[in-house]
Structure 1
């Protein structure tokens, strides 16, 4: 009995820190794309509504077979912009819209590698998301502006997101805001799953 207890204590002492449990509230999701995997850490502690919504789509396999379809590049700052993916507003693949969680409430601000929910009006976010590249503070909430709902960050695979950002886009668009941002060749999301 004492020998087994000693062995258990010894195992705890020699277990590397990297094998420790993940930070509370962070759930890792791997987006397996045709260009390689992108791993994101979803913050269920600070953005429970938005993170929970994203995980609901993951668990229901709603992102499987979908694409990254938009690359919005800064006109003045090379390498800065966002890459958008998800259900592409397809209602048949969507759950009900969620309540907006602004950055002023969550404390998760838009910066390099941050993942956030795409939306039209406030409270309309469903199954489309984007990943920021470079400083993106204009997407944060500010007085009189609700901003967007950030809910996590890229852990690995940011180089794939950067590759998507510079891929060719069509010159036109459905609106002035998205003019020239639709990818000519969409990048397929083969699967989206929680990491165990």
Structure 2
């Protein structure tokens, strides 16, 4: 199932462990400065069905996050579509896919692949991950994962050894992603295993803009535990 799944896809901060105290008493926790700003980029995707805010891991996946921001800052993501839902593959492989479904000239050149074994990120529920056919051909398409899909990680047993590059995650609007996922499906659109996964109607990203870090942004799941 995993091999077919991979082939069909065409297109937190990590805290160092506290060193043991030389005294017999338990080690004290590392103090956290609540005033330290979160410098990671946040982007608001305003869609037909509501707003999704994502946080980008631009330090761990700088090429992939930078590519996403390039589309945002150039306003080329405005008008992109969420066009695919994999609900036909069951609860273990849930994602929605978005990208440029119009003029291919709106795409920037392909980017280098950043495997999860290098970035230290993982394809958990809520992850923002880059779509590609082969490593190094990714342009504008991306996934939002609605379930853990650890088979997308580059070190997954039975995977293709490259996986899909995680570069961020949902921090708000998961309910909107769910509504997109559960949208109507075309009975005829799509080729091969993608038939039965094409949304009809597609959901438009009306605007994609950088926004300040939310005060209550969750820690998230994409950064692997030490």
Shift of 1:170: 1.6
Gaps of 5+ in 2: 1-32, 213-226
Gaps of 5+ in 1: 1-15
Change over 3 Å in CA distance of 1:151–1:180 after alignment to 2: same
- Greater strand content: 1
DSSP 3-state at the match of 1:51: helix
1:163 corresponds to 2:179: yes
For 2:193 and 2:113, the matched residues in 1 are separated by 21
1:21 corresponds to 2:37: yes
For 1:163 and 1:72, the matched residues in 2 are separated by 13
For 2:195 and 2:54, the matched residues in 1 are separated by 28
Alignment partner of 1:73 out of 78, 87, 94: 87
Shift of 1:45: 0.5
On the 8 A contact 1:83/1:132 being kept in 2, the answer is yes
Q: Any idea what the Cα deviations from partners look like across 1:62-98, whole Å, max 9, x if unmatched? A: 11122111111253427x5100112137421100000
1:187 corresponds to 2:203: yes
User: How does 1:129-144 map onto structure 2 within 5 Å?
Assistant: 129-142=142-155, 144=160
Q: Any idea what the Cα deviations from partners look like across 1:77-135, whole Å, max 9, x if unmatched? A: 27x51001121374211000000001111111101110011111111100111100111
DSSP 3-state at the match of 2:41: strand
- TM-score normalised according to structure 2 size: 0.73
On the 8 A contact 1:117/1:129 being kept in 2, the answer is yes
The aligned length equals: 177
Shift of 1:171: 2.8
1:41 corresponds to 2:55: yes
- Greater helix content: 1
- TM-score normalised according to structure 1 size: 0.83
For 1:21 and 1:178, the matched residues in 2 are separated by 42
